[in-house]
A and B are shown apart, each in its own frame.
Chain A
Amino acid sequence: MDWSFVLTQTLTQAIGIQAIIYCLAAIGLNVQFGYTGLLNFGQVAFVAAGSYAVGVIVLTFDLSLWLAIVVGVVVALVIALILGIPTLRLRADYLAIVTIAFSELVRLTVRSIAFKDVLGGAQGLNGKLGQDFHDTNPLPADFQSLPVLSWTRQDLWVVIVGWILVALFTLLVWLLVRSPWGRIVRGIREDEAAVVSLGKNVFAYKLQALMLGGVIGAFGGIVWAVAKQSVQPDTFRPEFTFFAYTILLLGGAARVFGPIVGAILFWIILAGTGEFLGQAIQAGWIDFLQPTDVGNIRFVLMGSGLIALMVFRPQGIFGDRRELALDAK
């Protein structure tokens, strides 16, 4: 059994590209759900918007990646308006229903044969999507690999910029939630009517939160497309959104660092158990599992862990228990 392999693989994934993508999606959810109380179950649609903006602008239209990023942001804003305007005046559950339906609608539309020329159909868009970005890579051309973390030169550059993005958005969220703006959205999360009665345009604030969270999610999608140089419609399934929620709850909703801690933990658990079980089966320690079962077992363990967390520490790792206990109306 190769323990060092298990450890390095786990660590590489814990702070790797997937962790960054999910972290960005979860930061967006933190703004929407954590602070404002909006149940957006379609965060993956915003991520897909970011990815597809890169795919379509760079590959289909052969334009620059930087333009694609702008388009991704604009599309995310438009989606937030489309989802928000009809639902945010209604009870909270309407947004939940509409967003989850919309995210599936997006996936089925982008993979449909009708738009194959532009969106690539079920095969998605594959090519030099992130070339403009990778051309900026300042790492030495003969770069081999970091001591423990096994990223390629290209991946390492994505990881560096990805974490910078995470830091910037975390800073933005931190600035916002400690401002009077943040006070209003936290008020909305608890009791809209009270906030309305004090003369605040609650609808506008909910829309702003949905838009901001959506744009941050779209950046997750942009990172994804740039890193993988490929956009696959079937990666944008509803599970993505639920994993992002898991991350948010692991780290603690309405905590500025919740999504970062959550994303790292999520990938430690997922990658760690995966690598460990894989090695253990190879070494013959476990004989009742096949290597092909590992992928699923990881999620069983993750689910059990989440249940245990909700029972024993419902506020998440960082959450403030007092805040949760004060539910009395």
Chain B
Amino acid sequence: MIQKDLSINFLGVEFPNPFCLSSSPVGNCYDMCKKAYDMGWGGVVFKTIGFFVADEVSPRFDILDKEDTPFVGFKNMEQIAEHPLEENLATIKRLKQDYPDRVLIASIMGANEQEWEDLARLAEEAGADMLELNFSCPQMTSHAMGSDVGSSPDLCRRYCQAVKRGSKLPVLAKMTPNVTDMCEVAIASIEGGADGIAAINTVKSVCNVDLQKKIGMPVVNGKSSVSGYSGKAVKPIALRFIQQMRSHPSLKDIPVSGIGGIETWEDAAEFILLGSGTLQVTTGVMQYGYRIVEDMKNGLMHYMEEQGVDSLSDLVGLATDNIIPAEELDRDYIVYPHIDQEKCVKCGRCYISCYDGAHQAIEWNDAIRSPSCDKDKCVGCHLCGHVCPVGAISFGEIVFKEGRQGDRRIEDIRL
């Protein structure tokens, strides 16, 4: 079996591998974190602790399905830790004693500057390696806590300063995606003393509505609430925010712990290529258990092998510069679809989608049930390729738009 060094230094802390449980019920008590460490997770962000003790609803989850795929997205109505603060601190202490070489990050949340400062001090005393400031839980019952904080640059800055007064540990500020511009709050957090950014927390959502009862789901005594959405569906949103931060002039090369819909090594690699030094997971674990880390680690090792890199940090941020503003994209050419008639199973889906959703460029031969592309009409959008169930449609001929070739050669175009 392949062996590669997955360790990475992140905010001065040595992680045996980048995979961490994100702060949530998946890392809520000693036994859970122990099991996760034993199964190979590099770190745990312990379930957010605070002076506030959560008072949870039941039931508290809902899922979005698509066709026969459950958990396309996951909605939760949880707040922060349900256990008392002293118990959580004792757990952190014990975990650190028993697993000195694994990373333990304390996620904290205060209601005012004094609480933030005290929590930081208490977490450091308990032995945590790092702090994560939860500026982002969308279901807190007070505006002084949760994602309302994460959308106020001023509060983020002040709370970071308070935390730095209480502790010398490296600090991650955990961002909410429920903002238009994450850079603003991230910059304020860094100005306040945060060393890196964790992104993202959950996206505010209404996942499903019960059509008979006419209530959002899950139903809590006849009502429901807007609350946080996570899992695969939020991955594109997370990647977008990370990209925007990592390419912002004031945040360039800022350390990022990537979160949001990670469940495979490919998801993980995407977050890394866009600049994440570590990765955090909740929903994937809630659905499948801690064991998913095995394939994420092994798959990532194979990817490193394929890429010829020996250190994970060599991959961090390699894709960042390849995502550029839309106005800078090359708009001078068209790639026509190439239809492989051997692979084609003659379902006609490309025809339907091109007609109803693109440019009526697929011609359908009724007699032999066979598609072909009319280049006079085709705009090269490749919707057809996306709907083809067998991957019979690939990139074909490249043609420059009238008078737009300049001195470039077709071969210069990178597809």
Decide whether A and B assemble into one complex: no
Seen from chain B, the residues whose Cβ lies within 8 Å of a Cβ on chain A are none
